[in-house]
């Protein structure tokens, strides 16, 4: 098990099943958002991650510039990784859920390739979909 933690992001990696769990611990500013995502991308590549449970329930609102950065910089890197599934946890915040659905549709149309991306309200739902672990 590999655990990395910043004051705004926790990453847990189970190398035996090539699973990464990430949890944003609070809303972040642009610098933290980009640094955190680059760290996540580095871990995806370093450990050959196949499945990622991304808990973004408390991430907060991402501004348009960071959305554009994500589309231009982050998603192409994710597509080049070994990743096959992303399960995003949005919690019960309807605005957060809807905004990600719209963003994921834009990303899918442009970049996402063969990676399956789904959004869930709870960790258990996300883990059940990944199918590699028992929640």
Domain assignment present for 98:
yes
Which helix (H) or strand (E) is 42 found in, with range? helix 30-46
- Count of alpha carbons within 13 angstroms of residue 62, beta-carbon side: 23
The residue range of the domain holding 13 is 2-130
Residue pair 9/22 in contact by the 8 Å Cβ criterion: yes
Residue pair 26/54 in contact by the 8 Å Cβ criterion: no
Q: Name the domain count of the chain.
A: 1
SS3 call for 25: coil
Give me the pLDDT at residue 135, please: 44
Q: How confident is the chain (135 residues) per 10-residue block, as mean pLDDT?
A: 94 96 96 97 96 91 89 88 91 60 55 75 91 57
Which CATH number characterizes residue 96's domain? 3.30.750
Domain assignment present for 44:
yes
- Residue 43 tokens read as 């871990």
Residue 38 zone, left/alpha/beta (φ > 0; ψ -120 to 50; rest): alpha
pTM of the model: 0.83
Give me the pLDDT at residue 113, please: 63
Give me the pLDDT at residue 98, please: 59
Domain assignment present for 100:
yes
Residue 18 neighbours by CB under 8 Å, 6+ apart? 47, 48, 49, 50, 51, 82
């Amino acid at each position: 098990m590999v655990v990395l933690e910043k004051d705004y992001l926790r990453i847990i990696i189970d190398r035996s099943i090539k699973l990464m769990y990430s949890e944003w611990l609070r809303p972040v500013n642009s610098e933290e958002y980009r640094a955190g995502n680059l760290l996540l991308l580095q871990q995806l590549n370093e450990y050959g991650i196949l499945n990622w449970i991304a808990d973004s329930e408390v991430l907060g609102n991402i501004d348009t510039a960071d959305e554009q950065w994500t589309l231009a910089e982050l998603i192409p890197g994710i597509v080049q990784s070994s990743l096959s599934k992303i399960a995003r946890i949005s919690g019960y915040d309807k605005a957060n859920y809807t905004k990600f659905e719209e963003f994921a549709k834009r990303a899918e149309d442009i970049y996402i390739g063969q990676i399956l991306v789904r959004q869930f309200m709870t960790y258990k739902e996300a883990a059940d979909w990944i199918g590699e672990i028992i929640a």
